[in-house]
Structure 1
Amino acid sequence: MNGKQKLKGKNILLTFDDGFNSNFLIAEKILKKLKIKAIFFVPSDFIKINSSSKARIFIKKNILDQILPSDFNFVKNINTTNLKKLIKNGHLIGAHTKTHANLALISDNRKLKNEIINSAHNLEKLLKIKIKHFAFTYGNYESISKKSLKLALAQYQFIYSSLRGNNFKNFKNDIIKRDAIYLEKGNKLLSIFLSGILDMRYFFQISNINKFIKKMYNK
């Protein structure tokens, strides 16, 4: 995207959202063996919680908008120590707002800045790193407002959505597309996603976002 390197062949970037401790377990038990590096997007308020019960309250209120998993009583947040271990092992940490808010529903500039900008500052202070990556919570077209996108672009080098598609021909500042993986659906559906069959469904939404970005930078 920065024009520094040309990709050849098949390339995949793995990302993990929301800051669950299970993300860390996957990195330790699977990614390490396969020598795969990933980006972990975490809400800055969530990772600072030191109580499992408080973490589950946060999850119910801010993250899970669906039926709770059967093992919910064992679900917890990743902590700062494990995030630092991920960084030491070569992974990247990205911002994912402060509270996992739907940014398109926020009109107040102060609240938006708190979610988008201050979340990065909090992570940088905690982890002693520079945060260059930001993933929109929910990440669908309806959750990405122009106001929130403008703020995010001013703070971060790379912006991620949850709109499906291939990033092989992305230009600098383009919104990054991602294929969401559903663990309970199996590899057959995953192969359909990665084949690109469904990409056209998101083509016009992605085009609209990238047109706004280009217009903003051309001013």
Structure 2
Amino acid sequence: MTDSVTLYTNPMSRGQIARWMLEEAAAPYEQVLLDYGTTMKGADYLAINPMGKVPAIVHRGKVVTECAAICAYLADAFPQAGLAPALEDCADYYRWLFFAAGPVEAAITNTAMGFVLPEGRDRSAGYGSLDAVLDTLEQAVSGDAWICGDQFTAADVYVGSQVDWGLAFGTIPTRPAFEAYAARLRERPAYQRQKAIDNALIEQAQAATPA
């Protein structure tokens, strides 16, 4: 069975996270580009991901969806890239990977959508408050190292994507720790390759769209 990964994506989506991870892992892959209103909701793709959203990957006949899961899976599937820490060093890896997929994603999305927690209901929301989430996230990315110390891992791809996108779109406030972390991420060759690919695809799509 081929070891190539099939990436289902749209360049204007979280599929950028999966592509970045594939580039970091040096994994062989082919892309299948989907449109939001047509192929992403078509029967063929819904058989792969019933949610009708991207990204999804297929590897060795198995489907993986959800960006954090894709990052963690690819780190394990391509261990030669060194993107998953040893078991004895994985506490921070799992902690911050799931923190970004849970409280960070929920708090930022709710805030961006204008959802306001009723007074006194912070505990019911799970993430507490956006301020608490951002202060905690800041601790995770402070300093000159990565999430797991000196080793860059899949957790940095996922957490880093949240920080990088948040700064770009204004959903995460500018703070020195966030800016410094994002700057280190943007220097990575795999990040730059991913951006070049997806930006070119976005330009092609925009050029093909009637004015």
TM-score by length of 2: 0.33
> Greater share of helix residues, 1 or 2?
2
Q: Select the structure with the greater relative contact order (CA < 8 A; seq sep ≥ 6).
A: 2
TM-score by length of 1: 0.32
